[in-house]
Structure 1
Amino acid sequence: MSRARAWAELLRLPALFTVPGDALSGAVAAGGRPNPRTLLAIGSSLCLYEAGMALNDWADRAEDAAERPHRPLPSGRIRPASAFTAACALTAAGLGLAARAGRPALAVAAPLAATVWAYDLALKHTPAGPVAMAAARGLDHLLGAATTGRPREALPSAALLGTHTLAVTTVSRRETQGGTALPPLAALAVTAVLTLLSTRGAPGTKRAASTGAGDRTATVIATATATATATATGTGVGVGMGAGRRTPAHDRAGLTLDRVLPTALATVYAATAGRLYTHAALNPSPPLTQRAVGGGIRATIPLQAVLAARAGSGLTALAIAALAPIGRKYAKKVSVT
């Protein structure tokens, strides 16, 4: 159990819940529907994300020995060679899954993997570090878009996700020292702008992949995540998505959901990130700065859900949003920063 916990800390496992939404929102932002290739893209994203986590601690092991001696590598719970081997294996697995998803997906996954390695090994402590991290998140979004055949249509939403990641990463550069209110203030302003931009162009009558029984992959994902959420929170769940014959009343309810859902999810996004950014700006101590970083990471999920909802896929948006309470529960046991 001790060794398993050490690996959970190294890989920051609760942060994994922020990853599937990249590919899912990318697929619908590109005008398509989640499909089996999208599931492969999600697997690729998860592997590459965890490769970056393992490589990050391997590259920062000397720095962590001074600033975070409790981390798995400086504490001796995991050998540096094991972390590096895991990073290599996970990268290979991620590229392999992307290849299974098709050439367009591999064409995005390859530069994504290169960006992850370049960030951890060379760019992290340079001014280009936050930009590289933002590029990685945007590429992860486009990886999902590539599985629907029209990734260019997802470029605007990839830019929004990348900008959010840029803000979080900028704050994280001071999480062990604290001392300045400027990064969290800037991140707070970015969050406000992204909240407005993410709901612009939300559908009023567009009924893309969110209705009907045709979006079978999204239905499966929504059902699974809703069930998992119920298990994690101890509440009951009833699933009846896409069942039965549609009526005009169903259509009117769906159109109302299309109008309201993006705004509701954007509000959740702003509250999740903004509250902790405000605390860090008022008192930029290391603990509050670290909490702000954690809040920014968790806020990625509602932002992904907003992007899916504004693309007209309410079902996919709800599937993504269902990941948030699960990630929040496990973040209490293993830190995401």
Structure 2
Amino acid sequence: MTPRERPGGRPDGFPAATPGDTAAGPAPHTRTGSPGRHRVRAWAELLRLPALFTVPGDALAGTAASGARPTSRTLLAIASSLCLYEAGMALNDWADRDVDAVERPHRPLPSGRIRPTAALTAAGALTGAGLALAARAGRPALAVAAPLAATVWAYDLGLKRTPAGPLAMGTARSLDLLLGAAATTGRTREALPSAALLGTHTLAVTTVSRQEAQGGPHLPPLAALATTTLLTRLVTRRPGTPADGRRHATPRARTGLRPARWPDPEPGVLLTTALGAVYAATTARPYFHATLNPSPPLTQRAVGAGIRATIPLQATLAARSRGTATALLITALAPLGARFAKKVSVT
């Protein structure tokens, strides 16, 4: 799934990092309206609801990678992912409440709008719900959801301040994709390549996010830019295509028995290429700017772009597995997430 980090590391659930409040996203909370509305908004900020739109694509891409179509078990996997993601969000703010009191005093916990005990209780309840939903989807799904939940808690409670933080985030995203495959088909082997690609993207974004509050060296955004370029090449190549990307003639074509004529590109191939281009375009410019000037505002924009790019990457992974309808469904989540992000910050 994708987190948000600061210098020391900080996630939003288990996705990659998110942009800072001052450079990207809505303005800090202001008190207008009824007390009940304040409370709802505070929880929406704590759980970073707009970021939820990056979660369903994990399970859907995993299902497509396993060669299956979404079923009711896939829906259970998505629901489990959403719960575990939100558990990570709440636990993150609980673990970082002292740091937030200095760096982001407007956040729900340091501002007093939500009590720390309530956030911790929510994290525990959401984790339990996520595991219960995975169990309903079957033992294979629970076998993936359990280490996913453990990774989320380990990250929030300690790993994010260590060099292992980005790797833990990447692992969490990979496991979330495998959760969809395990729930739908009972197996994960076919989905491992897609999980590795998505996890690598998350690792790169999380590495950049570790310097979003104070800025830092040029290398992390440059490495993320290079990683995006490599992932775009890999993800737009059909599984089984030679590593050099060239098509090789069949034996009959080479012997002259029939001309070497290649069929026109399939719609799925065109869709994969188009979505891969969207993925690359979403991150290329912000990463390049952050490389030239790794200041907090530009780094935060780069991190935000990395988060947004998660959806087109998921869609590309689904399309390359011949899940055209699934890819289009994932793509439809992007404008919804952008719309809600205008009302509630994802950071």
Higher fraction of helix: 1
SS in 2 for 1:124: helix
* 1:46-65 superposed matches below 5 A: 46-65=82-101
Aligned to 1:18: 54
- 2: CA distance between counterparts of 1:94 and 1:19? 13
Q: Does the CA-based 8 Å contact 1:24-1:38 persist in structure 2?
A: yes
Alpha-carbon deviation of 1:203? 9.3
Is 2:299 the partner of 1:289? yes
Q: How many residues align?
A: 289
Equivalent residue in structure 2 for 1:118, among 147, 154, 157: 154
Q: Is the 8 A contact 1:130 1:169 kept in 2?
A: yes
Say which of 107, 112, 116 aligns to 1:76: 112
SS in 1 for 2:100: helix
Deviation at 1:202, TM superposition (A): 5.8
| 1:178 alignment counterpart | 215
Report the Cα distance in structure 1 between the residues aligned to 2:193 and 2:173, rounded to whole angstroms.
13
Q: Report the alpha carbon displacement of residue 280 of structure 1 after superposing the two structures with TM.
A: 1.6
Q: Which one of the candidate residues 124, 133, 138 is aligned to 2:174?
A: 138
Equivalent position amino acid for 2:188 in 1: P
**Aligned counterpart for 2:197 among listed residues 140, 160, 170:** 160
**1:130–1:170 contact (8 Å) kept in structure 2:** yes
**Deviation string, structure 1 residues 177-196 (Cα, Å, up to 9, x no partner):** 11322211111110110000
1:7-37 CA-to-partner distances (Å, cap 9, x unmatched) read 1111111110000000000011012111100
Tell me the TM-score normalised to structure 1 length.
0.83
Question: TM-score scaled to structure 2, two decimals?
Answer: 0.81
The amino acid across from 1:89 in the alignment is A
Match of 1:127 in 2: 163
In the alignment, does 2:336 pair up with 1:326? yes
Structure 1 gaps of 5+ residues are: 205-251
Matched, 1:317 2:336: no
Question: C-alpha displacement at 1:282, in angstroms?
Answer: 2.1
Extract structure 1 runs of 4+ deviating beyond 3 A: none
Structure number with greater CO (CA < 8 Å, separation at least 6) is 2
1:202 and 1:107 mapped to 2: Cα distance?
26
> Contact 1:54/1:86 (CA < 8 Å) preserved in 2?
yes
- Paired residue secondary structure (2:81): helix
**15-24 or 148-157: which moved more?**
148-157
Superposed CA deviations along residues 211-249 of structure 1, whole A, max 9, x for unmatched, are xxxxxxxxxxxxxxxxxxxxxxxxxxxxxxxxxxxxxxx
SS in 2 for 1:27: helix
CA distance in 1, matches of 2:78, 2:226: 30
Worse overlay, 265-274 or 275-284: 275-284
Residue 311 of structure 2: aligned partner: 301
How far residue 158 of structure 1 moved from its aligned partner, in angstroms, is 0.2
Aligned AA (2:215): G
The answer to whether the 8 A contact 1:268-1:302 is kept is yes
Question: Shift of residue 281 of structure 1?
Answer: 1.6
